[in-house]
Structure 1
């Protein structure tokens, strides 16, 4: 069992490190011209419109992040694509820098949050 804990490895005398293929892929993967694959947590609790599954805030997803052409005061707006955990339907939401929040676009309905109030203007 002690062989697993070895800190130094044996390199034979004819070892040539230049023959090892190295990849310098740091950062998120790109899946297209403006799309990246990222790991994120659900920013709000939502209900899938196709199967009724509840997806709670903080659930982790592998998502596609797309940079849209829209901007708010020179802040770029991003769109995220995730999949429902039960039926694999696509759910889309994007950032809302004006309201410091996210807006649900397609595939899910945002759950009611008491502290937001009726119009999203506070807790009354």
Structure 2
């Protein structure tokens, strides 16, 4: 039945394909229906999902990441060739409007007005996470011998600092390495107890 949805359309007797072109033009409607009501102003209504936790400036309530809104999407500029879009939505708890826009330079969303971001970002270096090597750094490592030597020295010192933690993790992993033998030993231990109970 689903495959016939696109084929079975009612064409009224006064419909003329040369005059009207399509059923949408005949009915004076848009294929996107209500979502395209402000298309003449360059605004398309979309379903926007909150990318991170925010605080509404109007009612001071928390709005969680993943909450969905009907937002007005409008192109406001370009970052090189990537379009920058602005999203305007009404808070579901009050009458305040929240405006956000894309930030292609940092692969993020920026709050323009109506809310403030709940700060949950961290610096990878402060968090002692291993940073990925950038493309320029990778090229320099391949071509510059002195830079490779200095970088290797820094890597070795980082490894020395992390070695006790890594060895502790390795020992914990090795304790559960042969799970079949551990399971067999446990079953062997409980089997006599189970037979005594019966």
Pair 33,112 (structure 1): closer, same or farther in 2 beyond 3 Å: same
State how far apart, in whole Å, the 1-side matches of 2:31 and 2:124 are.
41
| 1:109 CA drift (Å) | 0.3
Q: TM-score, normalised by structure 2?
A: 0.47
Given candidates 72, 79, 99, the residue that maps to 1:72 is 79
Gaps of 5+ in 2: 1-9, 16-22, 127-198
Determine the structure 2 residue equivalent to 1:84. 91
Take 1:56 and 1:20, find their aligned partners in 2: how far apart are those partners? 52
**Inter-partner Cα distance in structure 1 for 2:85 and 2:96:** 20
How far, CA to CA, are the matches of 1:20 and 1:55 in structure 2? 51
Task: State the TM-score, normalized to the length of structure 1.
Answer: 0.72
1:26 to 9, 27, 31: 31
Output the aligned Cα RMSD.
2.3
Q: Cα–Cα, structure 1 residues 122 and 98, in superposed 2: closer, same or farther, change >3 Å?
A: farther
Higher relative contact order (CA 8 A, sep 6+): 1
The corresponding residue for 2:118 is: 111
Which structure has greater strand proportion?
A: 1
Contact 1:29 1:38 in 2 (8 A): no
The answer to whether 1:35 aligns with 2:29 is no
Q: Aligned to 1:51, what secondary structure does the other structure show?
A: coil
Does the alignment pair 1:46 with 2:40? no
* Structure 1 or 2: more helix by fraction: 2
Return closer, same or farther for 1:84/1:73 CA change in 2, 3 Å cut-off.
same
In 1: Cα distance, 2:67 partner to 2:125 partner: 25
Name the structure 1 match of 2:66: 58
How far has the Cα of 1:105 moved from its partner? 0.8
Aligned residues: 103
1:86 alignment partner, SS class: coil
Residue 26 of structure 1 and its aligned partner are, at CA, apart by: 2.6
Structure 1 residue runs without a partner (length 5+): 1-15
Secondary structure of the structure 2 residue equivalent to 1:44: coil
Structure whose CA Rg is larger: 2
